[in-house]
Amino acid sequence: MKIPLNSNTAVIFRLSAMGDVALLTGVLSYWNIAYHTKFIVITRAEWAALFENHPAIAGIEALSKESLERREYIHTCRKLAEKYADFPLLDMHGSTRSRLLAHQWRTSVYRYNKMPVLRRLFLWTKGKIGRNALLEKNVCQRYASLLCEDPIPRHLLKPRIFLDEEEKDDARHLLSKLFPCSDAELRVGYDLVWVGKGELPENMYGKSLVNKTSLRELCAVLSQCSLLITGDSGPMHLADGVNTPLLALFGPTSKEWGFFPVGRNARILQKDMPCRPCSLHGKSACRQKENCLEKIRNEEILEEVKKMLA
């Protein structure tokens, strides 16, 4: 163990995004088993459900949007620092907000290395600097290195979402209502359901649960599916966390950022292009005639899906 916590309980700080928070779940499981430590997680209210039923969790501080507003946040930091004055703080975000909280903290503060300078050098030099160092550890391993001296195998740190049987039963019931099928019917092919948030184009094939599930309901639905087809997204990590096979299409972001899923049933489709990655978060406007996701042909996706479902 790199850092002697001197405590059976530690406070974890990570606000966003959902995928980054989901990636913490497997790391906390590993630390809990290895060091018998419990954790109090400080996160945004909308992501708090990811830690429900988690055996490593001693408590959850779900911060509302209002408590994170500029003026109110100073009071939030003081309250948290006072409430958990006996415990060390593990900053898994490295943001302005986490540093403000650390400034108020009364005991030890430890911060993981998110490699911000190296990531930017890699981006600015179009991969000429930093590639090997970034590929050495994925995000989960970077998290884990805060307490672990040696690199931990990636599969031991993959996300873990702990669903109970009632949640799984509810998901099975929901899907059975979407896709009713009597014993006399012979179903050919596979049922398709859309999940997540946002706007779904009209006349899309399949049924839709878009904007219709809570975060845990989404996890439960994913746990009952044969396969998730997704981009580099939060649901990708949720599917990995409930051991659902997934096919991830990577475009603007690349492996160096450390977000590739590591489950045994995870597959990646991507196309090498000199402009990838185009930004830290893949949000830059594309200047190519055919972008990196468009280069992944429908036929390739269908062929991979057939292999995975065979």
pLDDT at position 3, please? 57
CATH architecture of 9-156: 3-Layer(aba) Sandwich (3.40)
pLDDT at position 183, please? 47
Question: For residues 29 and 59, what is the distance between their CA atoms, to the nearest angstrom?
Answer: 14
pLDDT at position 275, please? 84
% residues pLDDT > 90 (the chain): 77
CA triple 89-93-97, angle to 5 deg = 80
- Confidence class of residue 2 from pLDDT cuts 50, 70 and 90? low
pLDDT at position 184, please? 46
**156-201 pLDDT, tens per residue?**
999 999 999 999 999 999 999 999 875 445 555 788 999 999 998 8
* Helices (runs of H) and strands (runs of E) counted in the chain: 10, 10
pLDDT at position 299, please? 95
CATH architecture of 184-309: 3-Layer(aba) Sandwich (3.40)
For residue 62, give the amino acid letter: A
pLDDT at position 187, please? 54
Helix (H) or strand (E) holding 74: helix 70-83
Instruction: Give the residue among 55, 33, 25, 48 at the shortest CA–CA distance from 242.
Output: 25
User: What's the whole-model pTM score?
Assistant: 0.92
Indicate if the pLDDT at residue 95 is higher than 60.
yes
Q: Where in the chain are all domains bearing CATH 3.40.50.2000? A: 9-156, 184-309
Instruction: Tell me if residue 125 falls in helix, strand or coil.
Output: coil
